Amino acid sequence: MLRKDVNEGGRPQIEIGARPLGLVVPSPSSTMGLLFVLADAKRAREEAAEERGGEKRQKKAEESGPVTVGPKTFKTSVEMFDYFYRFLHYWPTDLNVNKYEYMVLLDLLNKGHPEPGKMIGTGIAAFQVREHPRWRSRCYFIVRTDGSVDDFSFRKCVNHILPLPENMRVKWDASEELGSRTVCEASGTP
C-alpha cells in the first residue's frame, strides 16, 4: 500500500505498507525523490521474497529423499556434509585416496560441481587431501593425468546436490574477495 503524508515542514513523506521510508520528497515533480522511493520499495519486496525463498529452500532440504553419491547413500545434506568433513580431517595429507573413496569423490564432483568437465580436464589420476597453500587448511585436491592439480569445495558440491541449512553454507563476503582470511563458522578453520 502506497501512502503519502505531509511531514512537519509541509513536505510530502511517502510510506509503503506499514514501513515508513523516511524519505522526504522536496517536490512532487522531483524525479530523484521518486527514484529513491522506488528503490526502497524494490528493496522491501526483495527482502520479503528472500525470506519466503529461504523458507522454501529449508522445506525442500527437509523434504528431499535419499541421495546416492558413488556407492554411498545419504539421507540428508547434513549427513553427507559430515561424511566428507570427517574424511577430509582424518585422511592423511598428500596420499591418494582408495578406490572406494575415489568413486564417491568423483560422483560428488560430477553431481555437485557447476563445471565438472572443466575440473576433470584431461582426466583424474587421483584425489588427495592436502594443506591448501593459500588458506592453510585441509582441502580436497584433484590430481589430473597431465600432472596439474586443482582444489574443490566439498561444501559447495554438497549444497548443490542437497541444500545445506543456512548456518552451514559458504559465506561470501568482501574480505575474502580482498584476500584476507575468513574463518568457517561450522569448523572454525579458515
Residue where the block lists cell 575474502: 176
Residue that wins the pLDDT comparison between 64 and 60: 64
Kind and range of the H or E run holding 105: helix 99-112
CB-based contacts of 107, cutoff 8 Å, min separation 6: 68, 69, 70
Rounded average pLDDT over 154-179 = 76
The reply to whether 188 falls in a domain is no
pTM: 0.58
pLDDT tens sequence across 27-47: 545 444 444 445 555 566 666
Mark whether 74 and 133 lie in a shared domain. Answer: yes
Q: Which domain holds residue 125?
A: 67-177
Are residues 59 and 74 both part of a single domain?
A: no
Cβ-count burial 131-155 (b if 16+ within 10 Å, e if not): eeeeeebbbbbbbbeeeeeeebebb
One domain for residues 47 and 118: no
Strand partners, 19: 16
Does a structural domain hold residue 185? no
